[in-house]
Amino acid sequence: MFDTIFIGTSGLLNHAKGLRTVGNNLANVNTPGFKSSQLQFTNLFEQGGGAGQAGGGQTSGGGTGLATLGLDVSFRAGLDQSTGNPLDVAINGNGFYTLKRDGQLLYTRAGDFRFDEKGFLVNSSGDLVQGLDADGRLTDITLDSLARSVPKATSTVVFNGSISNAAPSTPPVSTGVNNVMILDANGIDHPVKLSIANDGDGNYTVTVMNAANETVATGAIKFAGIVPVPGSDSMTFSYAPAGGSAVDVKLDFSKTSLGSVASIGVASQDGYVGGTKTDQTIGADGTLTVQYSNGQSAKGPRIALADFQADGALEDAGGAAFRKTANAQVLYGYAGSESFGKLAAGHREGSNVDLAEEFGNLILMQRGYQAASHVVSTANDMIQQLFDMKGR
């Protein structure tokens, strides 16, 4: 009779564990990347011998109670949540982010990232997000080397519009282009002016002058009809501004044409001033891109993803993160390659807690606990009746 009390007690203890698991799931319903768990129950048996059957075979003894096998974690995808934060990223498909916490590697589906005061990419718990270096080794992600955009000297100026096709004359009728900005290696711009004169037979002389109307360079371009002749539609000269180093500049007239009215202007030039970092985003392939105040951008490190052959290779480490078990094999790669899913910026994966399922489990745990308590109280009543027999 006393063993029956122990059986009922095991039911009380283990259903209390199950209630704790359900309560933990419900408490984390709004935790990004949280994965719900279920407590796995098993029964205990004792084997007893005897001749209770013909032939003297072994017979099973009675049950000895309830035990647990551990937690079964569900790794199904959680609810997609739109945040608008460019550093929040959700994995659409397979894979886990790799984190470093106190020197230990952890894995998570929660992609709520930010840059800490030291410039490293971390999650909301302060764990370091990992990328892969050129040799395929895990490394911390930082944008320190991309804090500034260095200036670039102008190498090509592209013109469009029309050049006057007025007949050659003395003095020549010239098409003028004012305020053509050429940037040196320090990002300082220097204005020059152009004069384009018809020499006849489709030949045009281009004269480059500085702000003091001093001739810097001359060249020639050629037209067939009203369009430039390929190979003769540009000129290159070396420009050495006062106090600056010389730069080689190509003037490209391939997008111009001849016309009765001059309307030539600068379509583009490839130089730019220095800039500071203004924003950073994460692409679908996990590449971090930095935007600068000068309108330029640069690509930085790429976030690493991890894949496991089985979900059982992971065990809970807290903070919506998991650690791999001792013999688990892990494959590292990038989003959008091999078996890995792509990343969605401005989104994050919420918990995968199913409220209907958890409330159902809540009732089951309550009823299991209630039934076990009845076993204990009934066994106690029977023992009390046995003790009362002495006084009869």
Mean pLDDT of the chain: 90
- Sign of the torsion formed by the C-alpha atoms of 21, 26, 32 and 35: positive
pLDDT(370) > 50? yes
Among the listed ranges 57-71, 190-204, 206-220, which one has the minimum average pLDDT value? 57-71
Q: Which pLDDT band holds residue 62 (cuts at 50, 70, 90)?
A: low
How far the first Cα of the chain sits from its last, in Å, is: 21
Per the rule left: phi > 0, alpha: psi between -120 and 50, beta: everything else, 165 is alpha
Q: Nearest to residue 288, comparing CAs of 151, 79, 126, 145?
A: 145
What average pLDDT does range 183-199 have in this prediction?
Answer: 93
pLDDT(371) > 80? yes
Six-digit token string for 217: 């360079």
**Stretch (H or E) spanning 385:** helix 355-388
Of the two residues 389 and 261, the one the predictor is more confident about is 261
Alpha carbon separation from 271 to 1, 171, 178 (Å, rounded): 92, 35, 18
Q: Which pLDDT band holds residue 56 (cuts at 50, 70, 90)?
A: very low
Alpha carbon separation from 347 to 79, 156, 385 (Å, rounded): 10, 41, 65
Of the two residues 63 and 2, the one the predictor is more confident about is 2
Rounded Cα distance, 296 and 298, in Å: 7
Domains by residue range for the chain, with CATH: 2-75+352-391 (no CATH), 81-148+277-349 (no CATH), 156-269 (2.60.98.20)
Contacting residues for 210 by C-beta, under 8 A, at least 6 apart = 190, 191, 192, 193, 216, 241
Beta bridge partners of 279: 291
Beta bridge partners of 148: 276
**8 Å CB contact between 376 and 8:** yes
Percent of the chain at pLDDT > 70 equals: 94
3-state secondary structure of 311: helix
Of the two residues 392 and 350, the one the predictor is more confident about is 350
pLDDT(55) > 60? no
pLDDT(45) > 60? no
pTM metric for this prediction: 0.76
Q: What Rg do the C-alpha atoms of the chain give, in angstroms?
A: 38
For residue 283, what pLDDT is reported? 95
Contacting residues for 324 by C-beta, under 8 A, at least 6 apart = 105, 107, 308, 313, 314, 315, 330
* Model pLDDT for residues 143-176, shown as the tens digit of each residue: 999 999 999 999 999 999 999 999 998 888 899 9
For residue 392, what pLDDT is reported? 60
Rounded Cα distance, 341 and 350, in Å: 17
* Model pLDDT for residues 122-136, shown as the tens digit of each residue: 999 999 999 998 888
pLDDT(112) > 90? yes
